[in-house]
Amino acid sequence: MVLVLVFIALLLTFYSVAYRHVAAALRVETARSLLRQRDAGAVHALARGLALLETGLPPSDPYVCEATIGPPPDEGSFTVTFTSPGEGLWSVHAAPTQWPDNPPPMPASFAEMAPP
């Protein structure tokens, strides 16, 4: 009888040690997954902004526009800001669009917006 109790106690001890490591690994992977999911939209908006910058120069400095990322039920709006810290240099920043902000939609290219 005592041997059975010792065996059960030992088994529960091993289980608690193993569970602690598994739970920690699950927490880490959940955090990584949430970070990846959170950053996915901003990365796509930033990529669209960089592709847009390859078509020409923005009409103003800073230039702010909105990029809609994702399929219609799950779409997200991101504000993409183009700033020029120096001659020939451009910085592109993407962040989720806040509620009162309503920037214009991202154009297809900057070439069509260039002054004549």
- Radius of gyration (C-alpha) of the chain in whole angstroms: 25
pLDDT at 93: 92
What does the pLDDT look like over 40-79, one tens digit per residue? 788 899 999 999 989 988 888 889 999 988 877 778 889 9
Q: Report d(CA 104, CA 60) in Å as an integer.
A: 13
C-alpha to C-alpha distances, 82 to 56, 79, 99, 115, nearest whole angstrom: 12, 10, 20, 18
**DSSP state letters, 14-32:** HHHHHHHHHHHHHHHHHHH
pLDDT at residue 82 greater than cutoff 90: yes
For residue 81, the SS3 value is strand
What does the pLDDT look like over 2-41, one tens digit per residue? 888 888 888 888 887 777 887 888 889 999 888 887 777 8
pLDDT at residue 107 greater than cutoff 80: yes
Domain spans of the chain, in order of start: 2-106
pLDDT at 74: 75
Structure tokens at 15: 């289980």
